[in-house]
């Protein structure tokens, strides 16, 4: 299953960009990063079944193992792409929230968008490692 990260704004040559690249290389599943302008810009329509996950302050807080199980279930159900959407500074619209398959939050705190990308990539690496039985994640 393709893990497609769609984010508003450019990450450039920041320390966060280095973290994103580091985890992207380690993920055993195909990944893609699409950067959109702060406003406007459209996400292309896929030709295959997909799920949409919005990173959102109003989203569900999930542990890494629960997140991995969700991704694994979608993969096993034949979903070919999961889109992880990081919105602009004002977040997502109510309509976007209603259309999403999952609203996902990294806790109650507000995180900078560039750091949220790096955190998402780490969680995707962690989730795919859990599903592969790799010892990276230590459950307590």
What is the domain partition of the chain in residue ranges? 2-131
**59 carries a ligand binding annotation:** no
**55 carries a ligand binding annotation:** yes
Q: How far apart are CA 72 and CA 61, in angstroms?
A: 18
Task: Specify the residue for token string 């993969």.
Answer: 75
pLDDT in single tens digits along all 140 residues of the chain: 999 999 988 888 888 899 999 999 999 999 999 998 877 777 767 677 899 999 998 899 999 999 999 999 999 999 999 999 998 777 888 998 999 999 999 988 888 888 999 999 999 999 999 999 988 776 76
Please give the CATH number for the structural domain made up of 2-131.
3.40.1280.10
DSSP 106: S
Please answer whether residues 133 and 28 qualify as being in contact, where contact means their C-beta atoms are separated by less than 8 angstroms. no
């Amino acid at each position: 299953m393709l893990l497609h990260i769609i984010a508003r704004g450019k990450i450039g040559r920041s320390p966060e960009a280095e973290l994103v690249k580091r985890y992207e290389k380690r993920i055993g599943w195909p990944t893609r990063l699409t950067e959109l302008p702060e406003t406007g810009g459209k996400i292309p329509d896929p030709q295959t079944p997909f799920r949409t996950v919005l990173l959102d302050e109003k989203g569900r807080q999930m542990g890494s193992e629960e997140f991995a199980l969700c991704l694994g279930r979608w993969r096993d159900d034949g979903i070919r792409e999961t889109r992880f959407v990081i919105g602009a500074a004002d977040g997502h619209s109510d309509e976007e929230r209603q259309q999403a398959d999952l609203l996902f939050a990294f806790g109650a705190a507000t995180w900078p968008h560039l750091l949220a990308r790096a955190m998402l990539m780490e969680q995707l690496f962690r989730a795919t490692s859990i599903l592969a039985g790799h010892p990276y994640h230590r459950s307590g």
